Chains A and B, each alone.
Chain A
Amino acid sequence: MSKFDVSRRGVLRTGAMAGAGVALPTIFTASSAAAFTNEPTGSSVTLGFNVPQTGPYADEGADELRAYELAVEHLNGGGDGGMMNTFSSKALQGNGILGKKVEYVTGDTQTKSDAARASAKSMIEKDGAVMITGGSSSGVAIAVQGLCQEAGVIFMAGLTHSNDTTGKDKKANGFRHFFNGYMSAAALAPVLKNLYGTDRVAYHLTADYTWGWTQEESIAAATEALGWQTVNKVRTPLAATDFSSYIAPVLNSGADVLVLNHYGGNMVNSLTNAVQFGLRDKVVNGKNFEIVVPLYSRLMAKGAGENVKGIHGSTNWHWTLQDEGSKAFVKSFGTKYGFPPSQAAHTCYVQTLLYADAVERAGSFNPCAVVEALEGYEFDGLGNGPTLYRAEDHQCFKDVLVVRGKENPTSEFDLLEVVEVTPRAQVEYAPDHPMFAGGNLGACNPGA
């Protein structure tokens, strides 16, 4: 008669070994994509669109959301296909992504970093989003990019223009299609030289946060390289609404150019105030006083109305471009919504297609596979000419538009006109350029 002793410790040990034995074949037989966050297992894949639905950039957020919905429609085979027809890559077939129907959830960033992180976290943890995209502010983009890196999902940035997004705060899981402060300055400088000469004295008013600082640094360096003097750089509170007390000192400063490193409501108000004070009618140092707005937004320019006339700035994309990609996108968007898309809508639409295309080419939703597919990727047909997603910092390099407030608009959308398409080579910089130094891309994180 054999003796069979059963102890608690023995049962636990045996159970653990049996569990490991059952699990072992699964680990080795599952696809390599099994070990990443929110691997899509059913017939659909969920994307997370994190845009400002409330707060000061809600109108831009609404336009971004329209673009995302249009992109999802096109990815799933609906509509006219938009820029999928002009995209140089033909990996997208209109049957979703890797045959899975694209679904989406939305979050509200409120243009606040903490709210944006919370909504992104919720979309990743509760809704199973495999990619997060969106945003209308650099502070938000940097915060959400950091979260996505930790969570092991891809972040395709929306409208973010600070050098830091792909500079000191760059992350391996994050990608930016939008241009940046350095590129704006590099594109604008030659145009400003041709228009206003090399003997100018500039006065800067700058929004006191990450985007304003990097924009000011970039445009001041570019104009000083032309021979311009910078007489003053004044930081203005982000919450400021009346800029009269900041504009008044400009009148007696000896400056003959005012550079407004402002965006959104700040830009509308500071430009309006500057024009009210008659700056554009002044003659200083024997020259006409000029105003420059390095980053233009058509949606915001509308708020400044006639004050934008004749004022130069830069933009990532404009709906009047006549390349096939832009025309296809404007047609799709305009037919669906009744008005042309903004630059925010364009970059969000493009980012969604680029992500989907990268997954198709990689054959996997694994973030590390997507990163590999996007790094160093050259493409065309998406509205900005030949474009490179640089591997070193995940920044897109493409032509930059210099625009001017139109003197005689023919419609409420016709506020800006493209005066120069600055070639990509002119806005490129080394990955270790001092304005982008201090960050570490790190390794991709698949999470899980």
Chain B
Amino acid sequence: MDAILLQILNGLDKGSAYALIALGLTLIFGTLGVVNFAHGALFMIGAFCAVTLQRLLNLSYEVVDETQTDFLGNPLKVKTPYVEAWFGPEFGGAIIDWAVPLAILFAIPIMIGVGYVMERGLIKHFYKRPHADQILVTFGLAIVLQEVVKYFYGANPIQTPAPDALNGVVNLGAAIGMDIVYPVWRVVYFFFAVVIIGGIFSFLQFTTFGMVVRAGMADRETVGLLGINIDRRFTIMFGIAAAVAGLAGVMYTPINSPNYHMGMDFLVLSFVVVVVGGMGSLPGAVLAGFLLGILESFASMNEIKSLIPGIDQIIIYLVAIIILLTRPRGLMGRKGVMED
């Protein structure tokens, strides 16, 4: 029983990342009609915002310590971060320790800016082009972005730890007399994803801006005829979708050390999530994200793998095939989307 509950938690956790990325993909597809294969790269750029802030906070000055030597036998240059020099070792150290949560504030404007530049500078030129062209250009953009990141940060994973206070494990089953030990940061990640998803739905549901965007998603031409500049709002939505992917990346860094390729690792899975959820359906993307995350976790259980060897590697695609055969528009897909 403990093992099953643990895999459900794992699935919710994986599903959080899938849902956040798929939500952004769906927002872009639903508003602009663009199939954005560079969305995984936005997730990766978000993660590297955390890496960058961590490095900025660790910028140091060097003092030569004649009593110690480096690996070549020369006097050792001891590094002290400026932040610790300015705010004292305790408070400065705490700021460095909380680099990842602080990176949320750092990443939001950067990701909105990256999304804005990406949409205005490149993607808008492909609105009226076939989806195949959009896929090619955004996939090419994703490769360029990951190579740029690799050039500056290298190919190896870079450790970006959670704050000490949020490291370690918590027994989630203590209240019901069970032993369900789970990493604290993964619990934080799940609730963070729930808050972001709730925020996006609330924004679209309860604000005038969101109402106009939803109207534009339903019938772009009519909204335009009412004198509303829907293009500008859709551009802003692209920026918001980029920020969602970026924040998902920032918070993911303590779970797995980020590297330049992490966006591609999530991209294909996230597209499967979008298709299973139903193209253009925001609730569908979230539902499919969590569903596929949980199924993927269960498929990794030894009991399941002993029955069907290799199931953990194909489960998501198998489920996608079954759902698309039985519900061609996905779980919550709308009629007419990508069917012209």
Secondary structure type dominating chain B contacts: mixed
Q: A38-46, A122-130, A166-174, A268-276: which lies at the B interface?
A: A268-276
Q: Tell me which of A64-72, A179-187, A246-254, A365-373 binds B.
A: A246-254
Say if the beta carbon of B84 comes within 8 Å of chain A. no
| B262 proximal to A (CB < 8 A) | yes
Report the minimum CB–CB distance from B306 to chain A (whole Å): 10
Interface assignment of B313: CB less than 8 Å from any CB of chain A: yes
**Contact present for A245 and B296 (CB under 8 Å):** yes
Q: Does A434 contact B (CB under 8 A)?
A: no
**A241, B256: Cβ atoms under 8 Å?**
yes
Among candidates B257, B297, B313, residue contacting A268 with C-beta atoms closer than 8 Å: B257
CA gap between A234 and B11 in the complex, in Å? 19
Task: Indicate the size class of the contact surface on chain B.
Answer: 35 or more
Q: Out of B156, B296, B302, name the residue touching A299 (CB < 8 Å).
A: B156
Q: Which residues of B contact A410 (CB under 8 A)?
A: 68
Select from chain B the residue with minimum beta-carbon distance to A253: B302
Segment of A27-35, A73-81, A190-198, A301-309 in the binding face = A301-309
Contact, CB under 8 Å: A276 / B257: no
Let me know if A245 and B300 touch, CB within 8 A: yes
What is the distance, in angstroms, from B270's C-beta to the closest C-beta of chain A? 13
CB pair A58 B14 closer than 8 Å: no
Neighbour of A265 across the interface among B72, B147, B157, CB < 8 A: B157
Q: CB-nearest residue of chain A relative to B266? A: A241
Q: Does A244 interact with chain B (Cβ within 8 Å)?
A: yes
* Tier of interface size on chain A: 35 or more
Q: Do residues A305 and B265 form an inter-chain contact, with CB atoms below 8 A?
A: no
Q: 1/0 per position for B250-287, CB-CB distance to A under 8 A?
A: 00000111010110010000000000000000000000
| Interface presence of A49 (CB below 8 A) | no
- Asked if A59 meets B156 with Cβ closer than 8 Å, knowing A242-B256, A245-B297, the reply is yes
Chain A residues near B182 (CB-CB < 8 A): 277
6 A-B pairs with C-beta separation under 8 A: A234-B302, A273-B255, A276-B185, A281-B169, A319-B71, A411-B70
Counting from the closest, the 8 A-B pairs by CB-CB distance are: A305-B159, A303-B157, A58-B155, A245-B300, A278-B169, A276-B183, A245-B297, A248-B6
Known: A273-B255, A331-B72. 19 other contacts (CB 8 A): A58-B155, A237-B312, A244-B186, A246-B300, A248-B297, A249-B301, A265-B259, A272-B159, A272-B257, A276-B185, A303-B259, A304-B157, A305-B159, A305-B161, A306-B161, A319-B71, A330-B71, A339-B71, A410-B68
